[in-house]
Structure formats: structure tokens, C-alpha cells
Amino acid sequence: MAVVTATAVLSPLTPSDPNAIHLEDQLALMTIKHILGADFHGRDVFSRLVHGARVTMVVATVTVMVAAVIGTLTGAIAGYVGRKVDAIIMRTMDIILSFPAIVLAMALTAALGPSLQNSMISITVVTIPAIARVARGQTLVVKEMDYVQAARAIGVDDASIIFRHIIPNCLGPITVQATLYMAVSILTTASLGFLGLGAQPPTPEWGADLAEGMRYMREAPWVAAFPGLAIFTAALGFNLLGDGLADIMNPRLRE
């Protein structure tokens, strides 16, 4: 995961333009000019990978962060206010959650029109309920803590209580959930790209590149292999990060 982040950050420094077409190098094997080979259009796989990393990281981070903000807010409000508001919010979340994430994302993107931005929007929408649920659960616990009662006794208004007392103390599990969802986001982006619903050509994107490379599996398997490997590694990386965070956060294991 660190590798992916590093790559994404360093992407502007790639030697060759990922979109530059070198037809003479069509489906070339790994050479010095093209470290990981070239695709059908003669574009350098390596630089496409690197630029794709940037796309992936941007999508993953932005979608999860926006979802986290919206999810935390709605979850905290639902948990704190309770009753009707809680019921309405959580039922809405349940409805969204009842669709498999990818299917929903597909449907939304298709409805909005295939593009990178739209795929980001649909992924965000799909991620919000998971975070809202975690936020609400934590809020219910934190709400009963004495320091929240103390704040009410002081006369602090509800909004301030939510922002100053409840949300900062919910961040732990939310961070873990968010990190895990980055992995989901990466996979979903790639899937959408694979289906042609995400980033449009010629933007380098792992899923789209994977789809393209599939066509030449027999002659030049590396064109598909590397994007696939990249997706796998990135998703795994975030998953491991999420697990690690969860372990650290667990107070019982702290010794």
C-alpha cells in the first residue's frame, strides 16, 4: 500500500507519456524502453500503471473521505437524536446497503453516464451507509458516557455536543472502516472501469486497461497481468492496513 501511494505521488515524474502512441512497439515485450512492455497501441504499460495509480488513489481517497464525512454526520445525528430521525436515516441506509455495492454503483453510473466523476459519485453513495452504521453504533455508546451528560449539564447545545464530544470519540472505528472501504473503493473503481463505466479512454485506469489487455491475453499476457496485479496489491494493501489499524485500536491488545 505504501508502494501504491508512493507510486501515485511520484506519477508526475514518469519518463514517458502514458498516452503517447508508439505504434511501432505494438505489444512489445519488456524492454528497456518499455519496462513492463507495451499495449496494443504501443503505449507504455509501466507509465500507464503509474498514472493509473494516481487515478486509483485519487478516487479511493476522495470517495472514502467524502463518504466518511457524510456518513459520520448522518450516523452521529441518527444515533444522538434517535427515534424518528434515527429510523428514517437508518432505513434509508439499509435500503442502500441491501444492494450489492458493485451492482448499485453500476446502475448509478450507467444512469448518470459513464465517466470517472460519475463513478466516483456512485462509489461515494455506496460507501456512506457502511460508515453511517459504524458512526451510529459508536454514537450510541458515547452518548451514555458521563462526559456527555456533563456537557448537557453545562448547558452545551446539541450541535456542539455532537461535534465536540461525540464525533471525536467515534473516529477510531470509523477510521478502520474507512480504510477497509478504500480497498472496496479500489476494487469497485476497477470493476467499473473494466466494464467501461468509469474512466474513459485514453485515461489510464487499471480496470479499463485490464479489460483492454484481456483481448491480447494470448499474445501479450503482460498487458493484462500487470494492471490486474496492481489492483490486487492495492486492495490487499488497504485491507491489511485496515486490519492493522483495528488491532492497534483494540485497547485490549495494547500491551
Q: Does 15 bind other proteins (CB under 8 A)?
A: no
Binding mask 128-147 for other proteins (x = CB under 8 A): -----------------xxx
Determine, following the binding rule CB under 8 A, whether residue 176 of this chain makes contact with other proteins.
Answer: no
Q: How far apart are CA 187 and CA 106, in angstroms?
A: 13
- Amino acid type, 133: R
Instruction: Compare residues 2 and 154 and give the one whose CB is closer to other proteins.
Output: 154
Is position 151 an interface residue for other proteins (rule: CB under 8 A)? yes
DSSP 16: S
Least separation in angstroms between residue 68's CB and other proteins is 17
The reply on whether position 165 binds other proteins by CB under 8 A is yes
Least spacing, CB of residue 30 vs other proteins, in Å: 47
Question: How many residues would you count in the chain?
Answer: 255
Q: DSSP of 51-91, one letter per residue? A: HHHHHHHHHHHHHHHHHHHHHHHHHHHHHHH-HHHHHHHHH
- Show Cβ contacts of residue 137 under 8 Å, excluding neighbours closer than 6 positions: 75, 79, 173
Rounded distance between C-alpha atoms, residue 209 and residue 153, angstroms: 59
- With H, G, I as helix, E, B as strand and everything else as coil, classify residue 200: coil
Q: Which residue has the cell 485490549?
A: 252
CB of 133 or CB of 165, closer to other proteins = 165
Site for other proteins in 65-104 (CB under 8 A): none
Contact call for residue 149 and other proteins (CB under 8 A): yes
Q: Which is nearer to other proteins, 55 or 151 (CB)?
A: 151
Q: Which is nearer to other proteins, 2 or 253 (CB)?
A: 253
Nearest distance from residue 160's CB to other proteins, in Å?
8
Segment interacting with other proteins, rule: CB under 8 A, options 8-16, 18-26, 30-38, 163-171: 163-171
User: Of 24 and 255, which has the nearer Cβ to other proteins?
Assistant: 255
Amino acid at 192: L
- By CB under 8 A, is residue 163 in contact with other proteins? no
Which residue pairs, CB below 8 angstroms and at least 24 apart, start in 217-226? 219/27, 220/27, 220/29, 220/37, 220/39, 222/29, 222/30, 222/36, 222/37, 222/45, 223/27, 223/37, 223/38, 223/39, 223/40, 223/45, 226/36, 226/37, 226/45, 226/46, 226/49
Q: How far is the CB of 173 from other proteins (least distance, A)?
A: 14
Cβ 131 to other proteins, closest distance in Å? Answer: 19
* Binding residue for other proteins, selected from 13, 32, 154, 253, defined by CB under 8 A: 154
Q: Which residues bind other proteins (CB under 8 A)?
A: 145-147, 149-157, 160, 164-165, 168-169, 255
